[in-house]
Structure 1
Amino acid sequence: MAKNQTLSLRSQWLGERLRAARVRSGYNQQQAGEYLRLELSAISRFERGTQPIRPSYIRDLISFYGIDNARERDALLRLSEDSWRKDWWDGDTDGLETGFIDYTWLESRATQIREFSPMIVPGLLQTEDYIKAIMMHSPGDPTAEEVKRLVELRLTRQRILESAEPTSLSAVIGEAALRRAIGGPEVRIGQLRHLTALPPHIKVRILPDSAGWSPDCKGPFTHFEMPDPYPEVAYIESLVDRTFFEEPSRVSAFRAAYADVARIAYSPEKSRDYIRSLTEELT
């Protein structure tokens, strides 16, 4: 189902698992609250994901609910830890939407990311100058200091591709994204060259305009493959909101859509050749 992004995605996942564990154990919220010496409303907030829950309370509830499965215990403790963490960014998170924080958390935890980006180079693959050219035109006429912060945020997200065990990324990029005049010629050339020098765990395919129309090309989306205990997640974004999907039937639709656009796009090898030829046009 689509998640409410006024709440933390991680807190909602944790709350759903806690509620399921309580129901299986035969206890009601009042009894759980009495065990923790908390009001019933606190248990309700924990299970709805509107309030983070202390790891000590999680350990107490694991005991109270009689959860003896090691995998389930570990899953609850990991979700509890992650519901408090913003370790992808060590700076000030004031003003950042919950949905944005959840998106970048998914990036940091995913084992595989698949992204379809028809109109712009994906954020994880953007150069610093390309990012700056985009952020200068962000809504609200940002100051130079705000642009600097936004650039730092995006560059920090890219660290997941540079770690000792980097995240695998597959991206289908529309031809229009490469031809779009973002920044001056030097910015575009630098971005194109960057796309031809990526390491093996990053696969880029270019979807040429000549590929024609496909129902799967309606708009950008991201698909995250996640390790246990997290479900696969699909994500779309509009001018007014961010939506995350985890219902298997919906996630599989995005997975299939990515496979379809990847099939009609150039291969990674042909994509590199095309990007090089486009770079030569600009030099």
Structure 2
Amino acid sequence: MPVLENPTVRRRVLGANLRRLRDEQGRLLEDAAQELGCHPAKVSRIESGRSGIRQLDLRVLLDFYGVKDVRTREGWLALARESRRQRWWRELEDQLPQDFLDLIGLEDEVAGCRGFQPSIIPGLFQTEAYATAVIQGGSAGPPSEAQLTKVRVRLERQKAMTGRRPEPLHVWMVLGEAALRQQIGGRGVLREQLLHLVEMAQLPNVTLQVLPFSAGACKGGMLPFLLYSFPAPTELEVVLLESFTSHAYLEGPGDTAHYNGVFDHVRATALSALDSEALMVSLADELARS
């Protein structure tokens, strides 16, 4: 029996946007299939992200959906090419869960990331020592080979903010005050982590804010989420909800609108970027004196 490939996030984004274009033009699945000269099931697989799409087929659909602008068309074609490109993490496919591979692929493709993490420093900002402590989960002894691989991948992910071309990933993250105080790895590790946050906050593509304990309850509850946005020509955003065992991706307009509202409320309630930086420095100084 053939093994079904788990669709990549990029394919899902491409397919969802093609479905959006078809709906906007009032076309049926059967209409698109007739234009391509294929069975409707093929179009369904493309729109669900289960299959990629050839450049020739994409050009036919763009013509059919009335996409005429040259730059917009090239954006769509680039999106299709990227969905097939091999990535640096593919050599680790047998060592990492598919959910995690999808997450890495998502961060490598999107233009922006906004989110809220109430209780832990997000992986994109973790130092090596902090990441190691998180991945070990409080267990004693040196990290295993599998844990070291996860740390290495986590650090590699961070290059999206500093070394990616043509544009680095733009990140706007709100951290709960608890994330700055939980001594994961001990005082020294946390102090180094706080100073690293201050350093990362100086990047022009990074905004960090802190939601203080004094803010009280906030819209949506104290639940973490990430909201990713893709570059043109797509208009799609993807919400990522992480748990201990899996990742859930929400792509519906109602879901993304809800979490945009939650993020706007949280960032408006949080300390300013300057006040947040001052709090991080103050907490780091406290740890140095302890």
TM-score (norm: length of structure 1)? 0.81
Q: Deviations over 1:50-80 (max 9, x none)?
A: 2333445545x45985866235643442232
Are the aligned partners of 2:36 and 2:61 in contact in 1 as well (CA < 8 Å)?
no
Given candidates 247, 272, 287, the residue that maps to 1:282 is 287
Letter of the aligned partner of 1:221 in structure 2?
Answer: F
Q: Deviations over 1:197-248 (max 9, x none)?
A: 2223222111111211123333001112321122122221223432222333
Identity %: 32
For residues 115-264 of structure 1, the aligned pairs below 5 Å read 115-137=115-137, 144-163=144-163, 165-198=167-200, 199-201=202-204, 202-230=206-234, 231-264=236-269
Match of 1:114 in 2: 114
Q: Does the C-alpha gap of structure 1 residues 96 and 51 become closer, same or farther in structure 2, counting only changes over 3 Å?
A: farther
Cα pair 1:206 1:271 within 8 Å, conserved: yes
The match for 1:29 is 33
Distance 1:247 1:48 in 2: 13
5+ long unaligned stretches in structure 1: none
Following superposition, the deviation at residue 127 of structure 1 comes to: 0.5
How far residue 103 of structure 1 moved from its aligned partner, in angstroms, is 2.7
**SS of residue in 1 equivalent to 2:199:** coil
Give the alignment's TM-score, normalised by structure 2.
0.79
| 1:271 corresponding residue in structure 2 | 276
Runs of 4+ in 1 over 6 A off after TM superposition: none
Residue 103 of structure 2 aligns with which residue?
A: 103
Query: 2:113 aligns to what SS in structure 1?
Result: strand
**Shift in CA distance, 86/152, structure 1 to aligned 2, threshold 3 Å:** farther
The residue identity in structure 1 corresponding to 2:176 is G
| 8 Å CA contact 1:8, 1:99 repeated in 2 | no
Q: Verify the 8 A CA contact 2:118 2:178 in the aligned structure 1.
A: yes
Cα distance in 2 for residues equivalent to 1:150 and 1:182: 17
Q: Structure 1 residues 268, 204: closer, same or farther in 2, change over 3 A? A: same
Q: Relative to structure 2, which stretch is displaced further, 241-250 or 40-49? A: 40-49
Of 196-205 and 13-22, the range deviating more from structure 2: 13-22
- Could you say what secondary structure the match of 1:183 adopts? coil
Classify the secondary structure of the residue corresponding to 2:265. Answer: helix
1:91-114 residue CA offsets vs partner (Å, 9 max, x unmatched)? 422254444333333322333221
Can you give the 5+ residue segments of structure 2 that lack an aligned partner in the other structure?
A: none
- The SS at the match of 1:156 is helix
Amino acid at match of 1:184: G
Q: Distance in 2 between matches of 1:54 and 1:264?
A: 46
For the aligned residue pairs, the C-alpha RMSD in angstroms reads 3.3
Alpha-carbon shift at residue 126 of structure 1 (Å): 0.7
Measured after TM superposition, the shift of residue 86 of structure 1 is 5.0
1:267 deviation in Å? Answer: 1.4
- Hey, what's the Cα distance between the residues in 2 that align with 1:68 and 1:172? 38
Amino acid at match of 1:124: L
* Residues 25/184 of structure 1: CA separation in 2 closer, same or farther (3 Å cut): closer
- Report if aligned partners of 2:10, 2:106 keep a CA contact under 8 Å in 1: no
CA contact (8 A) 1:121 1:177 kept: yes
Structure 1 CA distance, aligned partners of 2:219 and 2:62? 50
